Structure 1
Amino acid sequence: MDKKSYPVEKTIARELSKNMSPDTKIRALSAKSMPKKKGTFYISILNDALDDLSFLPQGRIPAKNEWVLFHADPCGCSWLLSSKPHFLYMAYKYVFEYFLDREISSFTPWIKTISFHVEKSTFDIFLTQYARMMRHFDKENHLKEYARIGFSHVEVNALACDRPIEKGVPGEFYPEFYTYCPALDQFASSSLNKGIYTEKYLERNRKLLKSHAKTALKYGLVPGLLCFEPRSVPEEIFKKYPTLRGARVDHPFRSFKPRYNLSVVHPAVKEHYAEMLTNIMKEIPELEFMTIWTNDSGAGFEYTKSLYVGRNGGAYLIREWKDDEDIARAAAENISGFFSTLLEAGKKINPKFRIITRLESFYGERKHLWPEL
């Protein structure tokens, strides 16, 4: 392992050591070279710091694209390498499930290029969504299995309690729609909404988020978020900031009271979202993506066509008496601006951070939105 090793390298080394002699030692080495040495098993994410490539076929990197490699030399030296952390555990499990019965003298380097560089979990019902409170569910084995079968990215944000803090109306089912894909304000506050949710509640959710992310990293997986945004906020915020009211985003057939989000076109609201994401990523800088679903489950963008009550929103995006094209164009620019705000905030902490979304809810704005992305 490299001295600056990835958690997954340590995970594999520890698992391997359980099947080796009691005096087996795990050491972190310099990444400069991996010389052939009897009784040595190298585990590494291959990086640019490696000077000596003589142990590789033709003495060079196996492929231009992503790849994994295993080689066992007759002298008793082995190498398990990967171009990225999220492929290493998969390669390790594959090798030890299928290659253990082979004669080492007949072994040639096993190299596989990765056809699909990203395999991401989507709405994991058991880990993060509405079945997350299931009894006897082993979260670590669940994430380990993701890594074993070749997944690369996983969504890790979930509520720590069985129900969200969403004030409803007696007999109303609508708060149940907030139990999945929790928004950023369920994990951190900003100067704008501080005190709306108790710090104890936010800390519990952050603690679970950190636990999921740490376990994902242990097996080389890339952690990220899946959120419905911009989601509705409690009415207490509008008592303090009445002019920041955005769109009505609830479904009038399923809710017994209107629910509104903040007007994300307003600079104060953009700063609010950037601050929340920053506060989360300061504690979990390894978060590498945020998937945003919208215009459903109490979330939506102002003046978009697919809002359940129709195009609506605050006073800052567009003036009244505009035609559909003008409204759609303004809505698309607002969506793009919101994504850019979050992207810029995330990249300040993790340069690899990116925003992912779905376009079907923007059927009325797609032709204006697509060039913005």
Structure 2
Amino acid sequence: MKKTLAFVVSMAAAAFAADVQVVAPSGADFSPDAPQIVNSLVRAAVSQSGNTPVEDSTEIQLRTNIMTMGSSYIVVCEQAKAGVVVGSGKQKAASVDALDAAIEQAVLSALGEKKPEAPAGPAPEPVAVAPAPQPAADSATAPKKEPLPVNTSVVTVEVEEAPAAKTEEPVGEKRPTRNYNSFGVGAAIWHNYDYFANPKDIKDGKDRDEERSWNATFAFHYARIFEVSAHAAITMVNNTNFVVGKGWELHDVFLIGARYYTSTGAVSPFFGGGFGIGGQLDFHYENFDEVVALGLAGGLEAGIVLFRNSALQLELGVAWDALWDEFESFKRRFGSGTAYIALNY
């Protein structure tokens, strides 16, 4: 009889269970393995509710979104049938350590499996019980009670106060950083600067010995990218371009700066800039002092990163840099614009 009853109960539970498609969670980017961990917690909560978590498309879908509010995490789960939201649950976790319990409660609420709560309404008032009547004592036969002696001695107790505990300042949670090497190739356009042959020619008003020229060049791109948040990164960029043949040149700048990502998705546009030093070899000129240039440099960059959620990324970018010969004069300025394609890993 007991076996038959257990079988009937199990068949009834299976009849009410359903396949629930667990959609990949969104907003879980606070650590590299967070999406996988959150997805596993959601699937475990679905199983706890008596349903079956699946990856294929079903009638019932469960979507999970995690948002940050200050140092807290907000978990929102939505149950959708045929594209229409029919149930939702929201929970707040004070830290990452409490995120598993918040996910479980939000999933159960979205699936309609809330834990039992105390019944609503005012609590019943206690009923006063009258004390049982005591038989009246005969005043003549009842013994007289003597008053208890009073102790008038004074006892002094010394209490040593413990020193107040030092309050520690709260330390903000650090976000795991992601660092990338970036190697790329491309093409560039470079220009030199107008040059007078010597000061005597300038005083005599003669024509310039070498005018500014523009040349198409090959380019090599290298960068080291240190992400400090989902939207920002510190960068070290080295762009090199060169021209071979008559009047060949070599142009190289090393810049330290930052970039800003306008999106945190798989496709992330960015823009940034940096400042540093650079060097130039330019054989358009005859004097050795003009052939070699060394000085301050600056640059701007913009582009787009594809597959940013992956450990291997594809970057398409453009950059413009300027190099000033020597450190005391900003009249001799070289410039270079670069378009490149690079792999970040």
Pair in the same fold by TM > 0.5: no
Q: Which has the larger radius of gyration?
A: 2
The structure whose residues are more often strand, as a share, is 2
TM-score normalised by structure 1 residue count: 0.27
TM-score normalised by structure 2 residue count: 0.29
Specify which structure has the bigger relative contact order, considering alpha-carbon pairs within 8 angstroms and separated by 6 or more residues.
1
